[in-house]
Amino acid sequence: MPKVTIRKQKVSDAKRFYEILNNPNFIYFRICPKSIEAERKILQKHAKQNKKSLNQHFAIMYDTKMVGGCGIKINPDNKQCGEIGYFLDEAYWGRGITTKAVKQLEKIGFKKMKLVRIEIKMNTKNSGSQKVAIKCGYKKEGIMRKAARRGDELHDAYLYAKVV
């Protein structure tokens, strides 16, 4: 069985992230880089954040193939609270890969970053993301009206959370 791991993102991941994020069927994640160079700049910014330990950004690995990305963003108003985000190449949906990545990510959040609360927010139509949150033991806390952005449009989002 292939192994799922997470590793720090690299600037050299830009082309692969660009390909994944610009899939026309990839409709719920709000970041779609306009070019590979734009994605490189985002990854350079992430590398600086990783060094400062503010936010942590990772690539999702399926054996040796990079298939997605994930990270933890610290709430600037409550540094003991973080938000997990993730995306996965469509060719790998439905295999439990994101669930395994989120479990690894939350260990980093709770143990290394000393968070006491981790949130996952997703578009209310994103059933795959809801399944990931539930499988990882997150509890639905409610609906956030007009809280998810896709392009110029605002959509409602579910808020799931886990506390220690």
The band of 26, judged by pLDDT with boundaries at 50, 70 and 90, is: confident
Give the pLDDT confidence score for residue 118 in this predicted structure. Answer: 97
Predicted confidence (pLDDT) per residue in 48-69, tens digit: 776 776 789 999 999 999 999 9
Angle in degrees, 0-180, between the axes of helices 97-107 and 127-135, rounded to the nearest 10 = 50
**Pick from 109, 92, 86: nearest CA to 31:** 86
Which tens digit of pLDDT belongs to each residue from 88-145?
999 999 999 999 999 999 999 999 999 999 999 999 999 999 999 999 999 999 999 9
Q: Are the C-beta atoms of 122 and 129 separated by less than 8 Å?
A: yes
Mean pLDDT of 7-18: 92
CATH second-level architecture of 4-163? 3-Layer(aba) Sandwich (3.40)
pLDDT of residue 48: 76
Contacts of 4 (CB under 8 A, 6+ apart): 60, 61, 62, 96, 97, 100, 101, 104
User: Which two three-digit tokens encode residue 96?
Assistant: 């439990």
pTM above 0.85, yes or no: yes
Task: Tell me the residue type at 149.
Answer: R
Higher per-residue pLDDT: 96 or 44:
96
**Beta partners for residue 140, in sequence order:** 160
pLDDT at 1: 72
pLDDT value at 149 more than 90: no
Mean pLDDT of the chain: 90
pLDDT bucket at 148, cuts 50 / 70 / 90: confident
Token pair of 38 as six digits:
């734009």
Choose among 119, 115, 145, 140: nearest CA to 130. 140
Boundaries of every domain in the chain: 4-163
pLDDT of residue 2: 78
